Amino acid sequence: MTKKELAIANHDKKYNCCQAVACSFCKEIGVDEETLFRAGEAFGLGMGCMDGTCGAVSGAVMLAGFKNSDGCLANPGTKADTYKLSREILKRFEEKNGTIICRELKGIDTGKVIRTCPGCIEDAVEIAQEVLEL
């Protein structure tokens, strides 16, 4: 099963978009699925059901932190690099879809769907694989 297929299968199991993406890479980033599931729970439906930043791309950004952070609480030294990775993920997602905003992607105000949730999940997985070399 590909990562895209796994993410879609997760979404079909009622994972939100963020969880579907993040939980597809638990082995690659060395974090158990329950931890990623719990971390992503509030990011669904455009960040806490506010139709804001797409949950799927939020999941990819979350992966950037888990993969790149040195975890050093006293003197975090990886933040700048993690921010660069996050910006690249967001930039590529926006270039592909025209927006990173859930409300716009789903066409809530316009009635014109730009990208479905499964499509956003597939895009976020692909971008995470490319940018984070997963």
How far is residue 77 from each of residues 29, 68, 71, 85, measured CA to CA in Å? 19, 10, 9, 14
Range of the domain at 113: 3-132
pLDDT, tens digit, for every residue of 60-88? 999 999 999 999 999 999 999 999 999 99
Mean pLDDT of 49-56: 94
What was the pLDDT predicted at 49? 86
Q: 124 pLDDT exceeds 90? A: yes
For residue 8, the model assigns a pLDDT of: 99
Angle at 37 between CA 7 and CA 32, to 5 degrees: 90
- Quick check: 31 pLDDT over 90? yes
Average pLDDT over residues 93-115: 98
The dihedral built from the CA positions of residue 101, 107, 51 and 29, taken in this order, carries a sign that is negative
CA separation for the pair 114, 80 (Å, rounded): 32
Extract the tokens encoding 78: 């990886």
Angstrom CA distances, 103 to 19, 27, 45, stand at 19, 31, 9
128 confidence band (pLDDT: 50, 70, 90): very high
Number of domains in the chain: 1
